[in-house]
Amino acid sequence: MTYLSIIYVIEFIAFIYLGINTLYLLTFAVAGLFNLKRKKIIPAYKRKTIVLIPGYREDDVIIEVAKEALKQDYGKEFYDVAIIADGFKKETIETLKKLEVKLFEVKLKFSTKSRALNAALDKLDDTYEIAVVLDADNIMEPDFLTKINQAFCQGYLAVQGHRVAKNMNTPFAVLDAVSEEMNNHIFRKGHRVIRLSSALIGSAMAFEFHHFKKMMKEVEVVGGFDKELELRLLSQKRKIEYLPDAYVFDEKVANAKVFTKQRRRWLSAQFHFFGKSFIPALKSLFKNGNIDYFNKAMQFILIPRIMLISLLFIISLILGVLNIHPYFEYWLYLFIGGLLTFLFSIPTYFYNLKTLRAITWLPLGIFLIFLSLFRLKDSNKEFLHTKHTYNAFQIKHSRFKSKQ
């Protein structure tokens, strides 16, 4: 085989792989443009709900989060808020004790979200019917639990709410917010339009309490516990619902350092779960016709969108400038498909000067993500904590709802 032949083989493999990535994302980006059809159901009753908020050294935000969580319009007698405090200061604990919340102090030798949740679940009685999981910085809209209850009337075991940014005070926060909404459009709304399950996201999600408690006892992962839950549900052919109008506001990363750490953690979890799930999902597809399960396993082979569009741009640019490639237009079509994915998936309220300024930081973001690929070893075995701050609460998050 000649040197030129080897180059063409490598190019062909790269084209197929990047083409699958592009076609997959574009398909669900287009699907997400259509409305989700929902039957209007009046709940027969309100299910007793527990809102679980685990936090690791989140003293700066947890008090305000707890106070906000108590403001649901669901009826105080129908829900409780549980704060799972890992490594909190004594003064924070004392303040929390004065609030109408269930407080679980945990001292874990190795802190993980799944261990913190299990510590609380072991102490909770079985009178609850729904378990809602939030991050320590999350703020629910007042009607969030009401909408979650309505979804469970339709028989779902798992429901994902719509998590949106509550702060866009830095370029990286804007980029993170855009990425979050693209995920909502493609992997949640787009999937549900085609009747596939929504992806889970780690917070703003709800489960049938007893099933959740049973699953969590078998979950022991450092990062990506939501992916573990998702795979277990899908392997059982359980559909995961998505509620685009049930809002939870989430703090976005403020700087390059946190941005990089977060992406490294996500990429590590993605590689881990691909190795764990692909063969079982493939067998389940042929044996049981489990498309949902296989579809989730397929998502783990996708590279980050920003890496995808960057590679397609660079390859198309080089081949276009050299003007020696016989199939240059096919690479150009892939690049256009990638651009359309972005255009279809980004909400219109992001089309402003602030987003334009944030885009100037994209080259740095792209470089940091590429750099993360070389630092994935053992990332899924160590707890990478993202610290949250009080500053995000000073930003009026209600403005997002009117633009959705």
Task: Give the integer Cα–Cα distance in Å for 17 and 21.
Answer: 6
Query: Which residues does 68 contact at the CB level (< 8 Å), separation at least 6?
Result: 139, 140
Among 227, 358, 365, smallest CA distance to 307 is for 365
- pLDDT (0 to 100) of residue 73: 95
**205: which strand partners?**
133, 160
In a domain, 173, yes or no: yes
Contact between residue 308 and residue 21 where contact means Cβ atoms under 8 Å apart: yes
Task: Give the integer Cα–Cα distance in Å for 233 and 211.
Answer: 10
Task: Give the integer Cα–Cα distance in Å for 33 and 299.
Answer: 20
Question: What angle is formed at CA 248 by the lines to CA 403 and CA 232, rounded to 5 degrees?
Answer: 125
In a domain, 315, yes or no: no
Task: Give the integer Cα–Cα distance in Å for 105 and 370.
Answer: 39
Task: Give the integer Cα–Cα distance in Å for 293 and 236.
Answer: 9
**How do the pLDDT tens digits run along the chain, 404 residues long?**
677 678 778 888 999 999 999 999 999 999 999 998 877 777 778 999 999 999 998 889 999 999 999 999 999 999 999 999 998 999 999 999 999 999 999 987 777 888 999 999 999 999 999 999 999 999 999 999 999 999 999 889 999 999 999 988 888 899 999 999 999 999 999 999 999 999 999 999 999 999 999 999 988 766 678 999 999 999 999 999 999 999 999 998 777 777 777 777 777 778 778 888 999 999 999 999 999 999 999 999 998 898 899 999 988 888 877 776 667 788 999 999 999 999 999 999 999 999 999 888 888 877 777 776 666 555 555 555 566 664 544 444 444 544 44
Task: Give the integer Cα–Cα distance in Å for 45 and 28.
Answer: 35
C-alpha distances out from residue 365 to 139, 343, 353, Å:
27, 19, 19
What is the rounded end-to-end Cα distance, in angstroms, of the chain? 55
- pLDDT (0 to 100) of residue 162: 98
- pLDDT (0 to 100) of residue 189: 98
Question: Any idea what the CATH number is for the domain that residue 62 is in?
Answer: 3.90.550.10
- pLDDT (0 to 100) of residue 199: 96
In a domain, 378, yes or no: yes
Q: Which helix (H) or strand (E) holds 284?
A: helix 256-288
Among 106, 60, 61, 99, smallest CA distance to 84 is for 106
Among 252, 203, 267, smallest CA distance to 229 is for 203
- pLDDT (0 to 100) of residue 403: 44
Q: Which domain holds residue 114?
A: 32-302+346-404
Query: Which residues does 192 contact at the CB level (< 8 Å), separation at least 6?
Result: 36, 198, 241, 242
In a domain, 157, yes or no: yes
In a domain, 11, yes or no: no
Task: Give the integer Cα–Cα distance in Å for 323 and 137.
Answer: 51
In a domain, 320, yes or no: no
Q: How many domains does the chain fold into?
A: 1
- pLDDT (0 to 100) of residue 387: 61
Among 306, 186, 184, smallest CA distance to 248 is for 184
Measured in whole angstroms, how far is the alpha carbon of residue 174 from the centre of its chain?
16
Q: Which helix (H) or strand (E) holds 170?
A: none
Q: Write the burial class of residue 44 (CB in 10 Å: 0-12 exposed, 13-18 middle, 19+ buried).
A: exposed
Question: What angle is formed at CA 36 by the lines to CA 33 and CA 37, rounded to 5 degrees?
Answer: 140
C-alpha distances out from residue 11 to 203, 295, 316, 378, Å:
39, 26, 12, 31
In a domain, 178, yes or no: yes
CA torsion, ordered 253, 259, 261, 263, to nearest 10 deg: 110
